[in-house]
Chains A and B, each alone.
Chain A
Amino acid sequence: MEEVIRVQHVSKSYGNVQAVKDISLSVRKGEVFGIIGPNGAGKTTTIEMLEGIRKPDSGEVSVLGLTPHKQLRELNKRIGVQFQATAIQKKMKVKEAIDLFASFYPTTQKDHLIELLGLEEKMNVMFDDLSGGWKQRVTLALATLHKPEILFLDEPSMGLDPHARRELWGLISTLKEQGCTIVVTTHYMEEAEKLCDRVAMIYSGQLRALDTTQELLNQIPVHYLAFDTDELEYDFLISLPNVVSVEVENQSYKVLSEDQQTTAYYIFKYCYDNNILIKNFRFEKGSLDDLFVHFLEKEETA
């Protein structure tokens, strides 16, 4: 499949802080590619080097065959960018913003987007008077007016309520269907699971995993056992072999284990011997969220 972004051994430091260390990855045409990791992991620095507004200290970046920081003007005609938490002028009306940004490009899909995003009813509202969800829609419209070949979204659902977030995902899927390649950073794992074809996990500036969402979940042993009881101790559970972590909330336990079957055996045996009742015992598949926590905990113990 055709690669539209290629990153090879890229590093970037700010003073003494190394924000990105030797990252290599590639993005294929037409896919939704997620860059995930905790806050401060280097996601934004990575995406900004792809957008050409930061220059890598070493390594090579190629986007649509261009070197972003050197050929920024050419690149800007072909990409769309939704920055993290940026605004437009408070007193600018939606209609005016769309008109202004449309004048930056030779051709636009203005009318199509207004319809797709349902902006018609808000055209005369000033940006400052819009809710978070609507602001996000407007800036998304501004980033996609010119039918960009690649759309970069930096934490697009930050600060959105669950409903607005779901709507945003729907919009992103629609853009994908239209053939746009999308690179998105997020720290919401649910978002990555729902949206992305492939994800790159970044921790402290380093690439830790890169695969399809499905493969990541299958490969890495972060499945868990879930059950309810009021007589088991945290200390006992965490001491069992293969157990990675234990979460307790109102007598509901979530035991992450690298070997579910063996862990289950120990729990059942202990409960049988001590006459403890457990209810709703389930083998659950981990989510990206669990994988994320799993990595973080490994990081902390390392």
Chain B
Amino acid sequence: MTAMVKLASLETKMFFRDRLSVFWTFLFPIIMIWLFGSMFGDSNVSGLSFAEMFVPSWIGVNIVTISFFTLGTVLTGYRETGVLRRYQSTPIRSWMILAAHTFQGSVIFVISALLLMVFGMLMYDLTLPAYIGSTLLALLVSILAFFPFALFLTSLAKNTQAAAAISSLCLNLMLFLSGAAFPLEFMPTILQNVAKVLPLYYVVELLRGTWNIGPITDYGLEVGVLLGISVVSTALASRFFRWSGK
């Protein structure tokens, strides 16, 4: 147990030692919101203000960034350089390592979500989520779906470069096509249907919904899809967990 706590806190510390990750995780989304805000700050889409629409969705995007880059790509790098292999001949067990990284990812996510929310409140008169308990539950479900999903996908990569490529592809696809950065209402029907294949779509719907419209019980489909992804990818990620690339 001490080993797991130590590992989680060390990994968190090391995250903050890497300026690039700090920038991409914490500042990049804020800059994006600010950029979009300077263009569409006064617009109203389907009854939601700019901030009500985009702060929840960029919080969703951050789940993707953190799962793919902070967790997935980093662990693939650890696999490639033998960091994981060194653990293999000690008494620490694989689930403890994954749990420590999941905890680290959650801490970083919470910080980034708070930053985004406070930024929205200061700049664009965003209010706290209407159904705050539902929003917290929605975040939990989203993390449970995305962390193992990204861990599994990136574990298919042989090295850090390949993992980063997979991660960038997933992030960009979902960022632009799932309604997170651009409202789906402005897109052709075919792209609106494509969005429904992307897991981030359900995260965005769920977060926007519980933040502005109704409790989580109104979003059975979204919760169901995300829990499904969670179960399947947890099974895949633990079944195919490897200590080394060879």
Contact = CB atoms under 8 A, between A and B. Distances in A.
B82 interface: yes
Q: Which DSSP category, helix, strand, loop or mixed, fits chain B's interface?
A: helix
Nearest to B93: A73
Interface string B67-108: 000000000001001110110111111000000000000000
A80 B90 CA distance: 8
Given A85-B82, A88-B83, A100 B10 contact: yes
A76 interface: yes
A83 B7 CA distance: 20
Interface size class for chain B?
Answer: 20 to 34
B189 interface: no
Interface in A25-77: 51, 53, 73, 76-77
Nearest to B87: A104
B185 interface: no
Contacts of A81: 86, 89
A100 B6 contact: yes
Contacts of B90: 76, 101, 104-105
Contact of B83 (A53, A76, A89, A103): A89
B17 interface: yes
A12 to B, nearest CB: 13
B177 to A, nearest CB: 34
B217 interface: no
Interface in A119-157: 126, 139, 142
B14 A86 contact: no
B92 A104 contact: yes
A91 interface: yes
B24 interface: no
B225 to A, nearest CB: 35
B92 A92 contact: no
A103 B86 contact: no
B82 A86 contact: yes
Contact of A89 (B3, B78, B88): B78
The interface centre, meaning the residue of A73, A77, A87, A139 with most chain B CB atoms within 10 A of its CB, is: A87
A79 interface: yes
Given A76-B89, A104-B3, A87 B81 contact: yes
A51 to B, nearest CB: 6
Interface string B203-246: 00000000000000000000000000000000000000001000
B86 A99 contact: no
Contacts of A101: 90
The interface centre, meaning the residue of B11, B18, B83 with most chain A CB atoms within 10 A of its CB, is: B83
Given A89-B78, A104-B3, A53 B91 contact: no
Interface string B16-47: 01100000000000000000000000000000
Across chains A and B, which 3 residue pairs bring their CB atoms closest together, nearest first?
A: A86-B82, A81-B89, A103-B3
12 contacts: A79-B89, A81-B89, A83-B85, A86-B82, A91-B14, A91-B17, A91-B18, A100-B7, A103-B3, A104-B90, A104-B92, A142-B86
Given A91-B18, A103-B6, A105-B90, 4 more contacts: A73-B91, A73-B93, A76-B89, A86-B85
